[in-house]
């Protein structure tokens, strides 16, 4: 008998085949433990080769395998869910950050525009103030009245000087804006002379200058009207040296 075909060698090959079969079956059944039932270590190689091999599933081991698979699946699903939630949270955070940056940029632009408008307005105001001469105020006394009257006379081209006006005021009323003459011919005619330059009502009304008060006793209005009358009759108040 050939050594290659001896009973012992055939038994060894049979055992190897059985072990290989068990490994393949275990892999196909996802790790189930399969136990041979009809194999007998004492049987001959011929009987082992001829008899069919059957396998029995261990329920306890199968349950453990199923539980392990379920646990792994749950763990995998949890990991996938966690990754999806993480990506969603990152996307939301990125979106909020972009919106916040966009809002901040819009607010920055609005602030810059407001500051620019404020600067332009301030510049325009400064320019307007520079173009418009500041309002001159005059003291409420004889000096202030004469100087204010001269500024109005200048606008209306009425001649006269500070000296000429002051000289005639001191002669006519001594600088009293409420002075009144109740004894001359004008007074007897019912139109007494009044004010700093002793102007009668008809003359005051005729030579009154717009922009001044219509009041004979008002010092500025009285001076301007009297100087306007003197300019018409004498060329200037400077040319008046007596009653006029």
Q: What pLDDT, in 10s, does the model give residues 76-134?
A: 888 999 999 999 999 999 999 999 999 999 999 999 999 999 999 999 998 888 887 77
Domain residues for the domain of 9 are 3-57
pLDDT for 59: 84
Into how many domains does the chain fold?
2
Please check whether residue 185 lies inside any domain of the structure. yes
* Domain end marker among 19, 35, 57: 57
Please check whether residue 127 lies inside any domain of the structure. no
What is the average pLDDT across 199-212? 96
Please check whether residue 40 lies inside any domain of the structure. yes
Please check whether residue 115 lies inside any domain of the structure. no
Please check whether residue 147 lies inside any domain of the structure. yes
Please check whether residue 38 lies inside any domain of the structure. yes
Please check whether residue 34 lies inside any domain of the structure. yes
Contacts (Cβ under 8 Å, ≥6 apart) of 153: 159, 160, 209, 224, 227, 228
Tallying the residues shown for the chain, one arrives at 244
User: What SS3 string covers the chain?
Assistant: CCHHHCHHHHHHHHHHHHHHHHHHHHHHCCCCCEEECCCCCCCCHHHHHHCCCCEEECHHHHHHHHHHHHHHHHHHHHHHHHHHHHHHHHHHHHHHHHHHHHHHHHHHHHHHHHHHHHHHHHHHHHHHHHHCCCCCCCCCCHHHHHHHHHHHHHHCCCCCCHHHHHHHHHHHCCCCCCCECCCCHHHHCCCCCECCCCECHHHHHHHCCCCCCCCCCCHHHHHHHHHHHHHHHHCCHHHCCCCC
pLDDT for 55: 58
Please check whether residue 95 lies inside any domain of the structure. no
Evaluate if residue 41 carries a pLDDT over 60.
no
Residue with the larger pLDDT of the pair 8 and 83: 83
151-185 residue pLDDT tens = 999 999 999 999 999 999 999 999 999 999 999 99
């Amino acid at each position: 008998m050939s050594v290659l075909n001896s009973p012992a060698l055939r038994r060894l090959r049979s055992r190897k085949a059985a072990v290989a079969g068990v490994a393949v079956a275990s892999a196909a059944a996802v790790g189930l433990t399969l136990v041979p039932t009809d194999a007998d270590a004492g049987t001959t190689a011929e009987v082992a080769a001829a008899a069919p091999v059957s396998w029995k599933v261990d329920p306890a081991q199968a349950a453990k395998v199923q539980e392990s698979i379920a646990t792994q699946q749950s763990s995998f699903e949890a990991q996938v869910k966690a990754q999806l939630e993480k990506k969603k949270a990152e996307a939301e955070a990125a979106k909020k950050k972009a919106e916040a940056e966009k809002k901040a940029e819009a607010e920055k632009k609005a602030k810059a525009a407001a500051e620019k408008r404020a600067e332009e307005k301030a510049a325009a105001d400064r320019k307007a103030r520079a173009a418009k001469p500041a309002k001159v105020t005059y003291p409420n006394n004889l000096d202030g009245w004469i100087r204010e009257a001269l500024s109005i006379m200048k606008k209306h081209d009425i001649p006269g000087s500070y000296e000429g006006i002051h000289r005639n005021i001191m002669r006519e009323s001594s600088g009293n804006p409420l002075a009144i003459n109740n004894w001359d011919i004008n007074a007897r005619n019912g139109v007494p002379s009044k004010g700093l330059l002793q102007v009668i009502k008809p003359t005051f009304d005729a030579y009154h200058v717009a922009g001044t008060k219509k009041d004979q006793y008002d010092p500025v209005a009285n001076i301007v009207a009297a100087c306007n009358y003197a300019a018409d009759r004498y060329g200037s108040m400077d040319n008046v040296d007596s009653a006029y």
